[in-house]
Amino acid sequence: MTVGFSCVRGRFAPSPSGPLHFGSLVAALGSYLHAKSQGGQWLVRIEDIDSPRTVPGADSDILRTLEQFGLYWDDSVVWQSQRIDLYQDYFEKFRQQLYGCQCNRARIAALGGIYDGHCRSLGLAADAGPLAWRLKSAGVNTEFLDLFRGTQQIPTALAGEDYIIKRRDGLFAYQWVVVIDDVEQRISEVIRGADLLQMTPRQQALCRTFDAQVPVYGHLPLAVTAPGHKLSKQNHATDIRHFAPAQSLTAALRFLGQQLPPDAELLPVTELLKFALQHWQAAAVPTQPEIQINSFN
Ligand code: GLU
Ligand code: ZN
């Protein structure tokens, strides 16, 4: 039976691969304001499932920075690295929808990066050597309704791909765990950067596979230094550690198209956030995929 949502619950799900930068502040703020302005809850989840990319200490650094910005979360913070048993339980439970794949990178690169379902009918067993595990696509869903952008179209090949949910090295993939966590935490709205927009139909499909209610999805513009270039940690002009919190928060609100109080940068962050909550306008969020920023000033 599909279970509905009893309350609004948003989340911010940073990967702890470095300190919080302006782009992640925008995602944190947008998800916070949208959930809180409806009287909802806002959760923080540390997405440290990709252990080789996890930087020790980055998680506590991110949490401390959120606190400096007055972005306090509800409930306990969840670390994906502590939930491997849960992800494995889902693996066993939905084993029928999964299959082992022994294709190497070179083969998939030759296909243009989108997998062709080659191993679907081979029935490779877990002891057939190191295998990646893929989800049998349940049908091609190329469209979804974005909270900020309206109807979005995704390339058919990407939407219908049998993607990897457990890697050959044994680590569960982002695509698998993000949906399990959103379902388990009863997240009703997923608000995040537009870099994940194309992954939304497959995540919605996976929710349905789990027989769970599908959250609302909304994508915020990405902050870039040049077309196609996400902010780098080396970009001092936008490294929030170089600015007072109210200054970065003001820049993030402006980036999200929101109204600002007079002398916003001089206010305590709690005042600024209070104003932002009262004046939050989802319709004012810019709908272009990326916005170039060179500095806050
Ligand atoms: N952990 C992902 C990231 O930092 C975000 C996942 C999500 O919001 O769905 O890029
Ligand atoms: Zn294969």
**61-76 tens-digit pLDDT:** 999 999 999 999 999 9
Give the pTM.
0.94
Could you give the CA distance from residue 82 to residue 103 in angstroms, rounded to a whole number? 29
**What's the pLDDT at 2?**
46
**What's the pLDDT at 191?**
98
Q: 282 C-alpha to center of ligand 2: Å? A: 42
Question: pLDDT: is 178 or 113 the higher one?
Answer: 178
For residues 41 and 35, the answer to whether their CB atoms sit within 8 Å is yes
Ligand 1 pocket check for 178: Cβ under 6 Å: yes
Ligand 1 pocket check for 10: Cβ under 6 Å: no
Model confidence at 128, pLDDT cuts 50, 70, 90, reads: confident
Q: 187 C-alpha to center of ligand 1: Å? A: 14
Indicate whether 274 pLDDT > 50: yes
**188-210 tens-digit pLDDT:** 999 999 999 999 999 999 999 99
Model confidence at 296, pLDDT cuts 50, 70, 90, reads: low
Residue 50, beta-bridge partner list: none
Number of other CB atoms surrounding residue 290 within 10 Å = 18
Model confidence at 3, pLDDT cuts 50, 70, 90, reads: low
Arithmetic mean of pLDDT over the chain: 93
Question: pLDDT: is 229 or 33 the higher one?
Answer: 33
Q: 117 C-alpha to center of ligand 2: Å? A: 6
Tallying the residues shown for the chain, one arrives at: 297
Residue 135, beta-bridge partner list: 98
Q: Give the torsion through C-alpha atoms of 14, 33, 66, 42, to 10 deg.
A: -70
Ligand 1, atom 7, residue with closest C-alpha? 13
- E strand intervals along 18-74: 41-46
Could you give the CA distance from residue 297 to residue 286 in angstroms, rounded to a whole number? 19
Could you give the CA distance from residue 54 to residue 48 in angstroms, rounded to a whole number? 6
Indicate whether 226 pLDDT > 90: no
**What's the pLDDT at 197?**
96
Q: 174 C-alpha to center of ligand 1: Å? A: 8
**What's the pLDDT at 240?**
85
Indicate whether 142 pLDDT > 60: yes
**What's the pLDDT at 131?**
95
Indicate whether 108 pLDDT > 70: yes
Ligand 1 pocket check for 14: Cβ under 6 Å: yes
Ligand 1 pocket check for 13: Cβ under 6 Å: yes
Closest CA to 98 of 106, 90, 110: 90
Q: Report the CATH architecture of 9-292.
A: 3-Layer(aba) Sandwich (3.40)
Q: Residue ranges of the domains in the chain?
A: 9-292
Name residues whose C-beta falls within 8 Å of residue 78's C-beta, 6 or more positions apart in sequence: 43, 44, 45, 46, 181, 185
Indicate whether 1 pLDDT > 60: no
Could you give the CA distance from residue 206 to residue 189 in angstroms, rounded to a whole number? 15
Could you give the CA distance from residue 127 to residue 134 in angstroms, rounded to a whole number? 16
